[in-house]
A and B are shown apart, each in its own frame.
Chain A
Amino acid sequence: MNMTTLTTGFVPTLAQAGFPEVMSQVTLGHYLVVAAIMFVLGMIGFLTRRNLIIMFLCTELMFQAAGIALIAFGRYHLDFSGQTFVIFVLTVAAAEAAMALALIVLLYRRKESLNAEEWKDLQG
């Protein structure tokens, strides 16, 4: 395995002259494993950390993982809906960040703490 075989794929434009390279199932598996590990790390962080800001950072981490999986599948099937969906994931992430951060600021003003457990006795 020399350096050229390792690096030839670096600029793999889909629309290069002729047919695009077909992505192997092994390669797809690699990307999916990275996405799965990232998702699970985000989930563990969301469950264990008690700082509200870090909890929401962890949800963003899970969004990232979903985006990687979507784009990898889109590349495998040569279908651009995967990338289109990542645009919508970005939209939802931005909306979620705006709302969540506004909520965090509001909650922080009341109790001067970012501890999620401070809010376990919320009353509707």
Chain B
Amino acid sequence: MINPYLLFGLLVVGAVGVVMALPRRGTNPQVLGAAVAGLAGGLLMLFLGLKAGPDKIPNLFFYVFAAVGLGGALRVITHPRPVYAALYFIMTVLASAGLFLLLSAEFMAFALIIVYAGAILITYLFVIMLATQAPEEGQEDVLADYDTRANEPVAATVIGFVLLAALTVMLFRGTSALPAPAKANPDLLLADMPRKVDRLLETNGVMGPKDVIDRTDWNAGVVEFTTAAGAKMVLERSVGKGGTLSEVAADGTRKVVRENAWPEDLRVTNAELLGFNLLRDHPGTIEIAGVILLMAMLGAVVLSRKQVQIDEDAKKARVTQLAQADPSFDPGSESPIELVQQPASSLEEAAR
């Protein structure tokens, strides 16, 4: 698929680019580094697709989404400001959703946008806002020291790209050795959705409301049904487009009643396939996912709870203690205002 020396050479160039793009003090060749890394990635993709025929490589949109996604990913790890890193990550998420669409995973693509870009990343942005100090009045916005300097960039990049080299060995050893995929027909799932079939055939005027389906063959695309008047009908999907609805006489001869009768929606959608797979094949994992989410919710509540009550109690106890030890102690200097007017005895009661 690709020459190993070429592949590993490009990986070395990419690693150099990533090292240069990581933030550092002093002269910072970030743009140059990103350009080098991008060039290496682009050449890698070019050489990958060069030997394969045009019918085998992914379509144009793959390259667009891959470039946007990987560029965003590079910027996430190189941008010194966390807010921008999070925004670039949203770009990566959107590009991944595009890749999911190309892989005909429509449901997951939009779930990804809603859950990741819509929920998780907004939480990240909130935390970034909460956990960043605003610059003081008249002071310039300075980056924190730990944001401007990467920690051991060379070592980490070398380790990362050694891993990448090991992973990409699959290109000339692994993927070509994969078994050819079985010819699966997702439409077989229609056998489990008789109501959908009934509804679609009725709304498209193929079947009357009193007609009864006798036999279906989703592999060949045949639906046989008996009308309320007793006539035997056959709906057959043709190879190209549409399908024919014909009436079968008692002697077996067929008379075409209607061309283009196969409803366009009479197929299984991605969400239906995913739903059947999720609920029929992996019911236990849903329970586990529910438990994980519940635990995470409890943990987040417990962790981030502001421990105000405990602090107030400790403060009251401390005031009481000081007042007992030294009768001339004025609690006003160390305690909230309402404690000032109260005598020490009532503070003791409150502490109990």
Contacts and interface: CB of A to CB of B under 8 A. Distances in A.
B74 A41 contact: yes
Given A47-B156, A47-B160, A57-B76, A25 B296 contact: no
Interface residues of A, number: 93
Given A37-B41, A115-B146, A105 B293 contact: no
A117 B270 CA distance: 46
Interface stretch (B182-190, B207-215, B317-325, B329-337): B182-190
B171 A17 contact: no
Given A29-B171, A33-B48, A77 B164 contact: no
Contacts of B153: 48
27 contacts: A6-B54, A10-B61, A13-B269, A15-B268, A20-B186, A24-B55, A24-B56, A29-B48, A30-B62, A32-B171, A37-B164, A39-B167, A40-B163, A41-B18, A41-B70, A44-B22, A48-B77, A50-B150, A56-B124, A67-B112, A77-B182, A80-B277, A97-B120, A98-B123, A101-B123, A101-B300, A115-B144
A contact face: mostly helix, strand, loop, or mixed: helix
Interface in A55-81: 56-58, 60-61, 64, 67-68, 71-72, 74-81
Given A43-B159, A98-B299, 16 more contacts: A13-B104, A18-B221, A24-B55, A34-B70, A40-B164, A45-B77, A54-B76, A68-B99, A80-B273, A87-B108, A90-B111, A101-B127, A106-B304, A114-B131, A115-B144, A117-B151
Given A6-B59, A7-B59, A117-B146, A48 B296 contact: no
A45 B59 CA distance: 30
B176 interface: yes
A76 to B, nearest CB: 6
A26 B127 contact: no
B230 interface: no
A95 interface: yes
A71 B281 contact: no
Interface of B: 1, 18, 22, 41, 44-45, 48-49, 52, 54-62, 66, 69-70, 73-74, 76-77, 82, 85-86, 89, 92-93, 96, 99-100, 102-108, 111-112, 115-116, 119-120, 123-124, 127-128, 130-133, 144-147, 149-153, 155-157, 159-161, 163-164, 167-168, 170-171, 175-176, 178, 180-187, 221, 237, 239, 241, 262, 267-270, 273-274, 276-278, 281-282, 285, 289, 292-293, 295-297, 299-301, 303-304
